[in-house]
């Protein structure tokens, strides 16, 4: 069995797959990356004995993944349907969480919205102290973190901090993300890759039955429920069709959203500057 992907570059060595998001410059969670995740998931299930750990990182210098591609929601849904008719965004992320492999997100740039929620669906998250920035901006445009954030964040950091993170729609640096429990650890940028490499290679030598049993027993009570996540994405879609949300998104697109410019690096300021639309 071989794998053909384009927006996610993969290489395998010693039981570890490094899967690099390479849909530059923003690694938007859109049809390209989703298509490759749809390809990757059954491949990883099939190769459970050979690939033990998957490390997700990014080829883009400034972004792990900016957010969902708001301009191609329909095309993304077409790709999701190839995973199974009616597959929801959240189903795909839930399937990432329940892979037989251990999944690690290595975050050395900006990560926001459904990009952040992709990282949340992984088993562990390590980030560059200097370069990583975390953001759930959805509420700032009238949406909600519909791809798992509402389910994962309060479990990781408690109600108070999770509400702050989601309702502030603001940037959080890696140190604060560590203090809040959003990530496992913030590491100096120079140490991040060696640290994750060592951890991944280490875990890859351990007996797989033990690993999958730990994951299964933890997830029996700690992993967000698939249908609760599905309800969140349903509510996200409802809000996306509201005039206030449409107007705010249109204004952000007009200012350069989804292009490799300053807007994508200052979304917290941009959502604050949005004119108050009729609500």
To a copy of itself, the closest distance from the beta carbon of 257 in angstroms equals 17
Shortest Å, Cβ 219 to a copy of itself: 8
Q: Is 114 exposed, middle or buried (0-12, 13-18, 19+ CB in 10 A)?
A: buried
Cβ atoms < 10 Å from Cβ of 216? 12
At closest approach, how far in Å is the CB of 156 from a copy of itself?
Answer: 4
Q: Are the beta carbons of 76 and 37 closer than 8 angstroms?
A: no
Per the CB < 8 A criterion, the answer to whether 205 and 15 are in contact is: yes
- Distance (Å, rounded) from C-alpha 243 to C-alpha 221? 38
Q: Give the C-alpha separation, 216 to 100, whole Å.
A: 9
* Burial of 4: CB neighbours in 10 Å, binned 0-12, 13-18, 19+: exposed
CA distances from 122 to 157, 160, 203 (A): 16, 23, 15
Min CB(279)–a copy of itself separation in Å: 6
The minimum distance between CB 54 and a copy of itself, in angstroms, equals: 13
Cα(120)–Cα(185) distance, integer angstroms: 14
**Residue (25 or 154) nearer to a copy of itself, CB:** 154
**Could you tell me the smallest distance in angstroms from the CB atom of residue 139 to a copy of itself?**
4
Please answer whether residues 112 and 134 qualify as being in contact, where contact means their C-beta atoms are separated by less than 8 angstroms: yes
Dist. CA 269–CA 215, nearest whole Å: 39
Q: In the complex, what is the shortest distance from the CB of residue 197 to a copy of itself, in angstroms, rounded to a whole number? A: 13
Give how far Cα 102 sits from Cα of 78, 124, 169, 203, Å: 28, 8, 30, 8
- Strand order across the beta sheet in which 171-173 lies: 63-65, 110-112, 133-135, 171-173
């Amino acid at each position: 069995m071989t794998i053909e992907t384009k927006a996610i570059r993969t290489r395998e060595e010693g039981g570890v797959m490094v899967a690099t998001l390479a849909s530059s410059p923003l690694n938007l969670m859109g049809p390209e990356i989703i298509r490759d995740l749809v390809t990757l998931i059954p491949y990883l299930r099939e190769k459970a004995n050979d690939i033990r750990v998957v490390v997700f990182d990014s080829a883009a210098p400034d972004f792990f993944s900016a957010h969902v591609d708001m301009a191609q929601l329909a095309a993304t849904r077409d790709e999701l349907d190839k995973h199974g008719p009616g597959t929801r965004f959240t189903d795909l992320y839930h399937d990432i969480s329940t892979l037989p492999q251990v999944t690690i997100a290595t975050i050395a740039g900006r990560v926001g919205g459904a990009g952040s929620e992709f990282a949340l669906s992984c088993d562990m998250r390590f980030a560059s102290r200097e370069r990583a920035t975390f953001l759930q901006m959805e509420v700032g445009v009238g949406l909600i973190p519909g791809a798992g954030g509402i389910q994962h964040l309060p479990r990781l950091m408690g109600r108070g901090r999770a509400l702050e993170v989601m309702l502030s729609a603001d940037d959080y640096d890696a140190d604060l993300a560590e203090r809040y429990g959003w990530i496992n650890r913030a590491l100096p940028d120079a140490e991040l890759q060696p640290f994750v490499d060592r951890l991944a290679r280490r875990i890859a030598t351990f007996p797989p039955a033990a690993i999958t049993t730990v994951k299964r027993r933890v997830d029996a009570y700690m992993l967000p429920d698939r249908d609760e996540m599905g309800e969140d994405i349903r509510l996200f879609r409802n809000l996306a069709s509201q005039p206030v949300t449409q107007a705010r998104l249109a204004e952000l697109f007009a200012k350069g959203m989804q292009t490799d410019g300053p807007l994508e690096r200052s979304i917290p300021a941009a959502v604050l500057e949005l004119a108050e639309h009729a609500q």
